[in-house]
Amino acid sequence: MKDKNKIKDLLKARRTHRTRVNIFGTAKCPRLAVYKSLKHISIQAIDDEKGVTLASASDRGAKGKTRKDKAKEVGTLISKKLIEKKVTKCVFDKRHYRYHGLIKELADSARDGGLKF
């Protein structure tokens, strides 16, 4: 059983590395890094030049009933926070997750909030 988990972790790390090689965030165009657990979803806007988080949003305390509603709310929250800091352009880092379901809802709501990526 341990070997199977090691293989899964290795494959996740490879997928993350493959997407992360081409993505780099700056102060004007930060990297939006998504994290998804079994219960929650969160996102951070990261300036990789300085190694600083510019803004973050999470679904803890979100009022949506379903996980998709909460993901939409997180996308609008991060877009509001970044637009307040006068950042409209960013790079989306989905990590090892597939671009569908919650990740797609979050990205679409961030775009609808005014972010371009």
The per-residue pLDDT for 80 is 96
> pTM for this structure?
0.85
The per-residue pLDDT for 51 is 92
Q: Is residue 61 part of a domain?
A: yes
The per-residue pLDDT for 74 is 96
Check which CATH number belongs to the domain holding 32 and give it: 3.30.420.100
Quote the number of domains for the chain: 1
The structure tokens listed for 96 are 């090892």
Which parts of the chain register pLDDT below 50? none
Of 22, 74, 29, nearest in space to 47 by CA: 29
Q: Is residue 117 part of a domain?
A: no
Q: Is residue 76 part of a domain?
A: yes
The per-residue pLDDT for 1 is 62
CA 61/CA 83 separation, integer angstroms = 21
Q: In terms of residue numbers, what domain contains 20?
A: 2-112
